Amino acid sequence: MKYVSEYRNPTLAQACADAIAQTVTQPWTLMEICGGQTHAIVKYGLNQLLPPEVTLIHGPGCPVCVTPMHLIDRAIALAALPEVIFCSFGDMLRVPGSEKDLFWIKSQGGDVRIVYSPMEAVALARENPDREVVFFAIGFETTAPATAMAVYQAQQENLQNFSLLVSHVLVPPAMEAILSAPDCRVQGFLAAGHVCTVMGYHEYSAIASRYKIPIVVTGFEPVDILQGIYLCIQQLESGRYEVENQYLRSVSYQGNDRAQKLIQDIFEIVPRQWRGIGAIPQSGLALKSKYAAFDAEQKFQNQLDLPTSTPETECISGEIMRGQKKPLDCPAFGIRCTPESPLGAPMVSSEGACAAYYLYQK
């Protein structure tokens, strides 16, 4: 399979690991941003191919994991309304809110439907004019263009029964928040290739320069990731801090101009709470005021019955997503926190770090 099998070639992967071992002379700690990269690292045992001087830590690039609990609670409250068809990606259904999850609402008769695209939610609104269809819009710059297109299409069709619960977040502000923390361990970043496919990597030059840190745009297959690590180690060993693009087959410097314009037309940049991490300035997307009719939080503001406080949780997702700890450092891992009974989103999201360790390295 072109562009897949060659990037899973064991001989090439071992050659990359050997090149890293021959280059490294001192300890370095690198963070992969994306949960998809985390899953590949653990699934293929890439961390076990590396020399002991190279430590990989896991970043905040799991869209389900970073969705704040108060928005999970709002999703649950919306899904419980009898007139609402609530649409979400599948792995969001098991993410715990402060008291329950979307799956529990579905089990109690709520009309919660799994969709694979926001355009499916638009179609449901078209087919069900007597119901209110709400789509839970989560994810990074990768999924934001599809959400923006759904709003554009709903407006073109004058669909007044379609709205969004928006929780889109942006990667570069999260990288800066991690680098600004006094206990930051990150010395090099593997940037998420699919985010850069949309946004390019021109935004990262200022970060690399400001924090004197190498950033390598990296793909998701084993050879991709090992090549990204090798490029990062080469920079660290030679005292350079630049932005490099390992994922040349998919990513350009400017990215996808049409997708970026669509995002800019529909959304504005706002502060956003990240679950387990806290508030990060200018790290989220919200609908512009001219699209307020599609904002579910405004549309249903008088019907949302929400908890007044966020309860304490045993989940250490924030420490994991900031690279302070790994899933196996959590005393609840695999005991009080499992995919069947999760304490937090990283155990049930398809891109969650705890889910990766539970699946492949428990």
Say whether pLDDT at 310 is over 70.
no
pLDDT band at 4 (very low <50, low <70, confident <90, very high): confident
d(CA 207, CA 214): 9
pLDDT tens for 183-201 read 999 999 999 999 999 999 9
Asked if residue 66 has pLDDT above 90, the reply is yes
Say how far apart CA 126 and CA 42 lie, in whole Å. 42
Among 80-89, 144-153, 209-218, 321-330, the least confident range: 321-330
Give the SS3 label for residue 309.
coil
Instruction: Spell out the residues 6+ positions from residue 346 whose beta carbon is closer than 8 angstroms to its own.
Output: 62, 65, 315, 317, 320, 321, 327, 352, 353, 354, 355
Q: What angle do CA 148, 154, 159 make, to 5 degrees?
A: 150
Categorize the per-residue pLDDT at 276 as very low, low, confident or very high, splitting at 50, 70 and 90.
confident
For residues 349 and 95, the answer to whether their CB atoms sit within 8 Å is: yes
If one counts every other C-beta atom within 10 angstroms of the C-beta of residue 268, the result is 13
Closest among 261, 297, 260, 296 to 154, alpha carbons compared? 296
The yes-or-no verdict on residue 308 having pLDDT over 60 is: no
Average pLDDT estimate for 229-255: 97
- Planar angle of CA 360, 96, 133, nearest 5 degrees: 110
Q: Closest Cα partner for 250 from 281, 220, 282, 294?
A: 220
The number of residues in the chain equals 362
Q: What amino acid occupies position 355?
A: A
| Distance from C-alpha of 333 to C-alpha of 341, rounded to nearest angstrom | 11
Instruction: Give, as one character, the DSSP assignment of residue 311.
Output: P
Per-residue pLDDT, 303:
83
Quote the tokens at residue 224.
Answer: 């991709």
Q: Which of 257, 18, 285, 38 is nearest to 140 (CA)?
A: 285
How many whole angstroms separate alpha carbon 96 and alpha carbon 11? 42
Whether 6 shows a pLDDT value over 90: the answer reads no
Given a cut of 60, whether residue 1 has pLDDT beyond it is no
pLDDT higher than 90, residue 3: no
pTM of the model: 0.93
Segment 305-332 shows an average pLDDT of: 82
Buried b (16+ CB within 10 A) or exposed e, 179-205: beeeebebbbbbbbbbbbbbbbbebbe
Position 304 scores a pLDDT of 78
288, 151 contact by CB (below 8 A): no
Instruction: Give the whole-angstrom CA distance, residue 93 versus residue 72.
Output: 10
Task: With beta carbons less than 8 A apart as the criterion, state whether 193 and 217 touch.
Answer: yes
**pLDDT exceeds cutoff 80 at 313:** no
76 neighbors 105 (Cβ within 8 angstroms): yes
3-state secondary structure (DSSP) of residue 295: strand
Mean pLDDT of 37-54: 95
Question: For residue 302, is pLDDT > 90?
Answer: no
> Quick one: pLDDT at residue 252?
97
Element (DSSP H or E) covering residue 297: helix 296-299
Map residue 92 onto helix, strand or coil: helix
How confident is the model over 85-128, as pLDDT tens digits? Answer: 999 999 899 999 988 999 999 999 999 999 999 999 999 999 99
- Asked whether 246 and 227 are in contact (CB, 8 A), the reply is yes
Of the two residues 314 and 235, the one the predictor is more confident about is 235
Going along 15-156, which residue ranges are E strands?
28-34, 54-61, 84-88, 112-114, 132-139
Q: For a pLDDT cut of 90, what percent of the chain falls above it?
A: 85
- Cβ–Cβ under 8 Å, residues 121 and 115: yes
What whole-number distance in Å separates Cα of residue 227 and Cα of residue 20? 9
Give the mean pLDDT of 283-299.
Answer: 97
Mean of per-residue pLDDT scores for the chain = 94
